[in-house]
Amino acid sequence: MTFTKEEIRFPVEGGVELAAWLFVPEQRGTRLPAITMAHGYGGTRYHGIEPIAEIFAKAGFVVLLHDHRGFGDSGGEPRQDINPWQQITDWRRAISWLQDRPEVDESRIGLWGTSFAGGHAIVLGATERRLKAIVSQVPTIDGHAAGLRRVTPEAVAALEARFAADDRAQLHGEAPAMQQIVSEDASRPSTYSAADVVSFYLQPVPDGVWENRVTLRSTRWARMYSPGEYIERVSPTPLLMVVAEHDHTAATDLALKAYERALEPKRLVMIKGGHFDPYLGEFETASRAALDWFKAHL
């Protein structure tokens, strides 16, 4: 099925507008099911997920793929600031915006999120009954548990001191401190330094739509964020989880333990490789599983 792709903006709280692509299949007088999508930690719609939106649109779904506030082409200050609860609040507004579209059947809306936004998918699935199907791909489950693995015990005190200094500086009017998202130099403060993460984030994107930096307080929020606590509450909304066998970014074992706690209806799809393989070597498996799930439940 052919479709159109339109650059749009829609309003969220605080007078901010989010930038998005709206994919609309050719239709003949009938309202269509819709899927709302967004990327994970520090990612934009230019980071490897547009092909998934296109697969959904070709199958007859209206698709809204947005950039989080402060990222990509979206508005919002400070830039590069990742507050998961603000992102979730904005995503609810995306759902409302989709419901108002004349092409959309407002009773058939699904949500797809990956990585950090895979965690948002769990929270929204548990707290947003307008959603009729959820796909959570390689999701963040427990920021505290992940933080214990990512930051060595002897380095925690220094990290907490940086958090405190940043907060006190903001009290006196300074802008939030920044650090790189990825760095090949493990001795340099950054969110990630693993080779596969560096490669993914540094893929070519249009000039001016992404910066390799994030606020330091984003790390604090990520370490506080545990969307897996909501997973039992997603039911009765159908939940698909796509989990990579060797994921060291959103740890495989944490995802599998969370899936065990989820109630029916649910489905688990295991893919080979690591965190970024759903966009790469395992793209066909991951995207087909998501498409089949939305076809079955929307």
64-102 confidence digits (pLDDT tens):
999 999 999 999 999 999 999 999 999 999 999 999 999
Read off the pLDDT of each residue in 24-45 and give the average, rounded to a whole number.
93
Could you read off the pLDDT of 204-248 as tens digits, one per residue?
999 988 999 999 999 999 999 999 999 999 999 999 999 999 999
pLDDT digits (tens, 9 = 90+) for 93-143: 999 999 999 999 999 999 999 999 999 999 999 999 999 999 999 999 999
Q: Residue 100 has what pLDDT?
A: 98
| CATH no. of 3-148+224-297 | 3.40.50.1820
Q: What is the mean pLDDT of residues 247-259?
A: 97
Would you give the DSSP letter of residue 238?
Answer: -
The enclosing H or E element of 97 equals: helix 84-99
- Has residue 4 got a pLDDT over 80? yes
Give residue limits of the domains in the chain.
Answer: 3-148+224-297
CB–CB of 52/112 below 8 Å? yes
User: Per-residue pLDDT averaged across 189-207, rounded?
Assistant: 90
pLDDT category at 28 given cuts 50, 70, 90 is confident
pTM summary value: 0.96
pLDDT at 27 over 90: no
Cβ atoms < 10 Å from Cβ of 55:
17
Q: Is the pLDDT of residue 1 over 90?
A: no
CA distance 22 to 28: 18
Q: Are the CB atoms for 117 and 84 separated by under 8 Å?
A: no
Q: Is 46:210 a contact under the CB 8 Å cutoff?
A: yes
Q: What is the mean pLDDT of residues 6-13?
A: 98
Bridge-based pairing of strands 214-215 and 104-114 is unpaired
What's residue 184's pLDDT?
A: 84
pLDDT digits (tens, 9 = 90+) for 142-191: 999 999 988 889 999 999 999 999 999 999 999 999 999 999 877 788 89
- Average pLDDT of span 265-292: 97
The top-scoring range by mean pLDDT among 141-150, 188-197, 286-295 is 286-295
Helix (H/G/I), strand (E/B), else coil: 6: strand
How many angstroms separate the CA atoms of 217 and 224, rounded? 11
pLDDT of residue 113: 98
Grade residue 252 by pLDDT with cuts at 50, 70 and 90: very high
Helix or strand run (H / E) with residue 266: strand 266-271
